[in-house]
Amino acid sequence: MMANKRFTSVWDAISATPQEAENMKLRSALMMALDRHIQSRGWTQAEAAAELGVTQPRISDVMCGKIGRFGLDKLVTMVSAAGLHIHVQIDEAA
């Protein structure tokens, strides 16, 4: 019989380690911020690509949530290019 296991987040459930889960949470937050920013500006994917200095397929990847295609460094660069500020808060693990 399989026991039910509870997770704090979906990232905890699908990640092999807590470190990987944290990395995915950060990448997800950055991608969602970019998506919201692009939509709030009313940019097409081509316009967003030109503004952020990437290709249109990269913008498509962001908007489709293809998290595995991005590292933190690239997402930070894109967020900065969008004129957004990143605020980091670090807390003790539960």
**Domain residue ranges in the chain:** 16-81
Write the pLDDT tens digit of every residue in 38-70. 999 999 999 999 999 999 999 999 999 999 999
> pTM, whole model, 2 decimals?
0.84
What is the CATH topology of the domain spanning 16-81?
434 Repressor (Amino-terminal Domain) (1.10.260)
Give residue 12's pLDDT.
60
Angle formed at CA 33 by CA 16 and CA 36, multiple of 5 degrees? 130
E strand segments, the chain: none
